Amino acid sequence: MNCKMKRIVIVGATSGIGMEVAKMFLQNNYQVGIAGRRKERLDILKNEFPENCFTEVIDVTQVSATENLLKLIEQLGGMDVFFLSSGIGNQNMTLNPEIELATANTNATGFIRMTTAAFNYFSHNCGGQIAVISSIAGTKGLGAAPAYSATKRMQNIYIDALEQQAKMRKLNICFTDIRPGFVETDLLKYGKYPLLMKPKKVAKSIFWAVVKKKRRIIIDWRYKILVFFWKMIPNCLWKSLSIASQVQ
């Protein structure tokens, strides 16, 4: 392996935004380790980029995910950037507990499992970068998707906490929290959404945010404006709004 090539691990690279981000890094000659549950999807990318693509099946809800992540890092000969795209989300206006708990299991437990594994790896290996896709959905609690919006807020706060811990322990780890608006992926396949963005275009913005080590980005500019005003809505007014039924 060429030692000058940077090595990135992308978990959640089998579809949507994660897959497009993986393609961007593969096309830019990074050594890329990709993971997700669907092996056949991983193999398609591996066949397209046999030289610099490495694969491992990882289910973030399973305890074995940590060990499998380490196996993927070993295949790459080390890791410079850890990128987490895995996530699920559903609207849940009947408050089906199974949907809520499955969302928490992937977006909260799975998220913590993967980011702590990456953090601990970097703490023993001279540091690195942890980048995650959270969402603008964590801006306020969404009545139509309680677990989704709550877990996305948790992801934002968890990264803030890891950053502080890294500083307290004088570890050379930096963080990138990516917050997209609506993107046309499988996650949104049920329902109609306004201001939809193409995954390829979003992946391009994400690629540069990671390369430039941005701390936090909202994609795109329209959502930046929306979030700015959204944050200012007082809770006494927010609770009476029903606009959230279209928000993912």
* Nearest residue (CB) to ligand NAP, 169 versus 208: 208
Token pair for 217: 């980005």
d(CA 167, CA 42): 35
In this structure, what are the phi and psi dihedrals at residue 156, rounded to the nearest 5 degrees? -60, -50
Residue 29 beta carbon to ligand NAP: minimum distance, rounded to whole angstroms: 23
Query: Does residue 89 interact with ligand NAP by CB under 6 A?
Result: yes
Residue 88 touches ligand NAP, criterion: CB under 6 A: yes
Q: Which is nearer to ligand NAP, 129 or 248 (CB)?
A: 248
Stretch that binds ligand NAP, among 36-44, 115-123, 165-173, 209-217 (CB under 6 A): 36-44
| Bridge pairing between strands 31-36 and 53-57 | parallel
| Contact between residue 184 and residue 223 where contact means Cβ atoms under 8 Å apart | no
Q: Does 60 bind ligand NAP (CB under 6 A)?
A: yes
Measure the CA–CA gap between 33 and 7, rounded to whole angstroms: 8
Nearer to ligand NAP, 123 or 214 (CB): 214
Which residues from 90-119 bind ligand NAP, rule CB under 6 A?
106, 110
Q: DSSP of 3-44, one letter per residue? A: TTS-EEEEES-SSHHHHHHHHHHHHTT-EEEEEES-HHHHHH
Binding footprint of ligand NAP on the chain (CB under 6 A): 12-18, 36-38, 41, 58-61, 85-89, 106, 110, 133, 135, 180, 182-183, 185-188, 248
